[in-house]
Chains A and B, each alone.
Chain A
Amino acid sequence: MNWGSWQNFIAMGGYGLYVWGAYVVTLIALVAEIVGLIMRRRGVIERLGKYYAARRRNHESEA
């Protein structure tokens, strides 16, 4: 499929809004999910780290 030029590729035969509207939102959604997962993992590690540290402090103070 030879598009000829970048303009032709972006224009998509006049349907550019629809094609790119679909593809760009898909890309955004998948990237958002990936970023969300990364942030969730960091959040879990951070929260649990604090949880264990607090628990250790409690045990030490009781010991």
Chain B
Amino acid sequence: MIRALAWVLRRDLLLAFRRRGDVVNALVFFVIVVSLFPLGVGPEPNQLRGMAPGVLWVAALLACMLSLARLFAPDHQDGTLEQMLLAGEPLVVLVLGKVISHWLVSGLPLVLIAPLLGLQFDLPGNALAVLGVSLLLGTPVLSLIGAVGAALTLGVRGSGVLVALLVLPLFVPVLIFGAGAVGATIAGTGAEAHFLLLGGFLALSMVLAPWACAAALRIAME
């Protein structure tokens, strides 16, 4: 099973590496969206500092959602997904592998770049660190939940916007505690509770989401 997981990981990372443009595009989208908010709201530092956790987190949500289109659709188109369903390996393991590679390619870059963007909003150092950690805990959850949405809408017309409609409401708890962690750090009240909850979400979704995703894939492919 580990070998199957490793195989899926290696294949997806290789494919992502060959299409670096897709990956970079999502990252650039994140940067642009984050930069739009000060342009819309005004450069006043206190206001920006207050907005920053929410803005950075919402932009991360949107960037993650955009990248979901690349999760299953290409494999579906070239027939690999069908082979995965027919393979002897448990589909849950293969799904987990795809989600991990999706996170490595779409989520982890956000984790690394967000603190830099946080500087644009004049966030203090400890808040930047908390931002990174909250995204580190939260973006895998986004990938896991997003995978279920991507599987449900596989091959459906208008699936891009439909995935957003399905998945964004489910992202709300992660958003609340992720942005809340940074806000609490700025306010000085500490983010331990937030991290605990984010960790809880991660554990829960790691157990449930691959299973739901596998079920959704079978439904989509039958």
User: Direct contact between A and B in the complex (CB less than 8 angstroms)?
Assistant: no
**Which residues of A are at the interface with B, using a C-beta cutoff of 8 A?**
none
